[in-house]
Amino acid sequence: MMTVTVNGEARKLRSGTIAGLVGELELPAPLLLVEHNGTALRKSDWEGAVLRDGDRVEILRISAGG
């Protein structure tokens, strides 16, 4: 396990990639924007974005408004 900061909160994770993190947190992938260590990622990059102990991830959920 490693510790990664997700949206300002330290979390112990089993996942080794952003894609795994999104799955582990049971988040709706099509509705998310993800930033890994200050870099915005395309969804197609999530599988290759390797997480390491101490990384910072920001996850934003997209919502339509009116």
Encode pLDDT of 7-22 as tens digits. 999 999 988 999 999 9
- Where the chain has pLDDT below 50, the residues are none
Nearest CA to 6 among 32, 19, 30, 25? 25
Please give the full DSSP string across 1-66, using - where no structure is assigned.
Answer: -EEEEETTEEEEE---BHHHHHHHTT--GGGEEEEETTEEE-GGGTTT-B--TT-EEEEEE-----
**pTM above the 0.85 mark?**
yes
Q: Which CATH superfamily is domain 2-61 in?
A: Beta-grasp domain (3.10.20.30)
Q: What per-residue confidence (pLDDT) applies to 1?
A: 85
